[in-house]
Amino acid sequence: VEVVILITRRRSNERRSSVHFCRFCSSCHTFLLTRIVRYCAGVIMAEEDLKGTVIVYSIVGCTKCDAAKQHLSKLRIPYADISLDSFPQCRDEMERLCGSTDVPQIFFNDVHVGDDEGLNALVEDVTRFDALMEMLRTEEAPRGAPLLPQPQTSIDYQDGSENSASSDSDGIFLCIPNEYSRLVASMKKANIIKDNRVGPTIYRNSFKGEHFINWIMQQRHLKLKDALEIGQELIERQFGRQMSKENGEIFSPERYYQIHTREESVALNASLIADQQSPITAKELNEMLVTVLEPLYKSILADNRKMVKFTSLDDNEHFQEYVHISKDMQRLNVQDATPNEKIAVFVNIFNIMLIHAFTKFGAPSNVWQRRKLLNSTYYVIGGELYSLQSILNGILRGNRRGLDMLWEPFGSQDRRLHLALNVPIPLVHFAVNYGTKSGPPIRLYSIEKVIEEMRTAARDFLSCDDNLRIDVKKSIIFLPSIFKWYAEDFGGSKRKVHFYIDKAT
């Protein structure tokens, strides 16, 4: 996906107006309505950051809710999804604001849009739609608009004080489980998930497809087709895995599925460390990483340093050596690390941690598996649990919300909060590799020259036509998606993004 920075032109007899150019439309270089441009085949628009808030009230397994959220995504309108399964107390507020208990319910600030049909009607009313979009761009949600619930008010909120791996883990499991986590919790309460004996085999913590389908149809008043779709989604999001011998990727009433236990989600570098082993500095750890990873990367990376030859990791002595020293990350003294030390160490850890996760769990095949990998794969670093998401958005981006996140990674009571960079550096986006073809090459970064090395990486990345292309004739600059996803880091506006690129290149 590319982000198109749309150049603004003026006519002497027109009021100030954005000109939206379309690469594939014959009517380029003309003033077009926002809605026409948004729906024209092949158009990719760059929406401005919204000051207002779009909220969708939904429940698990609701096809109308999914349709409404997909519609908003196609319109490129960011929204906050309030699951009434996790936040049942919000149902009263929703009913008070719209006079209905049906879901979904969509709000643009304090304006009630209704369900997906209401959204369709709004989009067809061009004048009203453009007025509401302008309101979202320029006005914050007023008093009387729906409020986002606090994480602590979720019925599944966990503070890490109970059932944690150790007393040192308090506060590191601060999270809001997504809607499918909530569904699993409901299944356990209904005794759908249990130990099932099939012949001589006992499937621990499992459920049969047939039992799930009957239960969800009764609970949600669903048709069989919808129940099967929810079961399929549950497995695709890696909450469970098939245990029966029958082959097939489609959720089946005849198969048994086992739910992942917490023990399966322990840190990749989990290991007991002797008390007499003293903490190590960021400089010491980074030197260890560079020494081990340099020959490893030479043996497993393709020439472009983006693609990993995972078959080369089988019995790779350098990788085995890395796995061994990764346990030393637990001894890292993060508190005394300088900003440059944090950047170099955490960037190097992020890139190899992603490879480590791919090696253990396999590459994600869909967006839900990718999200689970980024949010639920951990390293113990300095005595705290870190996911890939908390490294990138928590530490390196100064505790900013990432994609599809309603809250910052670290809460106000999180012990990792004070470790985040006070001044985020956008250059990190050209240093971390997300495991995609469009990402930057994987490199190693030294503490002494980390900023200079990241600047070089940024220049190399933006000098490639695949990442930065200018169509002078049509006045369009084509950019990679990171400038859309993390626009806040690059200044928050198209003009500041343009200025950043000029400065970087």
Residues 6+ apart with CB under 8 A from 39: none
Dist CA 458 CA 467 (whole Å): 11
Which of 475, 455, 453, 452 minimizes the C-alpha distance to 463?
A: 455
Dist CA 386 CA 380 (whole Å): 6
Dist CA 57 CA 55 (whole Å): 7
The token duo for 470 is 């200018």
How would you classify the pairing of strands 384-387 and 378-381? Answer: antiparallel
Dist CA 102 CA 94 (whole Å): 9
The alpha helices in 327-381, defined as continuous H runs, are: 339-361, 367-376
| Position 425, amino acid | I
Give the Cβ contact number of residue 247 at 10 Å: 7
**pLDDT tens-digit series, residues 189-228:** 888 988 888 777 677 778 999 999 999 888 877 888 888 8
- Burial letters 133-142, b for 16+ CB under 10 A, else e: bebbeeeebe
Q: Considering the entire predicted model, what is its pTM? A: 0.51
Rg from Cα positions in the chain: 25
How long, in residues, is the chain? 505
Which of 432, 367, 371, 439 minimizes the C-alpha distance to 397?
A: 432
At residue 470, the 3 state secondary structure works out as: strand
Give the Cβ contact number of residue 215 at 10 Å: 17
Residues 6+ apart with CB under 8 A from 108: 52, 54, 132, 135, 136
**pLDDT tens-digit series, residues 341-355:** 999 999 999 999 999
| Position 147, amino acid | L
Q: Which residues pair with 6 in a beta bridge?
A: 476
The token duo for 396 is 């390196």
pLDDT over 60 at 265, yes or no: no
Measured CA distances, 32 to 19, 20, 37 (Å) = 7, 6, 6
pLDDT over 90 at 56, yes or no: yes
Residue 175: predicted pLDDT: 31
The mean pLDDT of the chain is 76
What share of the chain in percent tops pLDDT 90?
A: 27
Q: Which residues pair with 201 in a beta bridge?
A: 198
Q: Across residues 59-69, what is the average pLDDT? A: 82
**pLDDT tens-digit series, residues 2-32:** 333 333 333 333 333 332 333 333 333 322 2
**pLDDT tens-digit series, residues 136-159:** 999 988 888 998 876 556 655 444
At residue 173, the 3 state secondary structure works out as: coil
**pLDDT tens-digit series, residues 272-323:** 553 346 789 999 999 999 999 999 999 888 766 767 777 777 788 999 999 9
- Residue ranges and CATH numbers for the domains of the chain are 1-46+463-505 (no CATH), 48-159 (3.40.30.10), 178-265 (1.10.10.10), 282-461 (no CATH)
Residues 6+ apart with CB under 8 A from 84: 57, 58, 59, 90, 91, 94, 103
Residue 242: predicted pLDDT: 58
∠ Cα 236 242 245 (to 5°): 145
Strand arrangement, sheet containing 194-198: 194-198, 201-208, 256-259, 240-242
**pLDDT tens-digit series, residues 380-424:** 898 888 999 999 999 999 999 887 677 788 888 788 999 999 988
The token duo for 462 is 């933006």
